[in-house]
Amino acid sequence: MAKDRDEAEVVLFTDGACSGNPGPGGWAYILRHPGSGRETSDSGAEPDTTNNRMELTAVVEGLKQLKRPTVVELVTDSKYVGTGLSEWLPRWKQQGWKRKEKGRLVPVKNEDVWRELDRLASAHTIRFTYVAGHSGHAENEECDRLAVEAYKELQRNGM
């Protein structure tokens, strides 16, 4: 049976969290291969960051796990990530990684992470699915729990 071109080979659930903005933050992902039932997850933290940066980092870290071009369904509660990938990124690249603010071009925030996300995403077909945060979506809730635990662990260790 032929595979539907739009059928996701993997589903990447992501979330970022921050205590203060900026402040200590965490990221997490769950990467699931529906065909085999195989699943991996990871999380991490930074001592001084923003929520948006952690949202992006979660996607970057998840995409790093893919070893070949893949159809990915990205499930996140971050409209920043979804809109950025689908709408803003092409324009930013055209404008030399600048965005318009009050009629003039200014540097893109989190440019280093956006550039890495752009590099990784270019190898894959990514379909963005938005889920409302803290609404009971099981994988989103688990990613949130992992991200919060990651930055709390960092705080417990004196960072």
DSSP state for residue 97 in the 8-state scheme: S
Neighbouring residues of 150: CB distance < 8 A, sequence distance ≥ 6: 26, 27, 28, 43, 44, 45
For 56, the enclosing helix (H) or strand (E) is helix 51-63
Q: Is 89 within 8 Å of 108 (Cβ atoms)?
A: no
Residues annotated as part of the active site: 15-16, 55, 77, 134, 144
The CA distances from residue 62 to 14, 92, 106, 140, 147, in Å, are 8, 23, 29, 14, 13
Which tokens sit at 120?
A: 């990784």
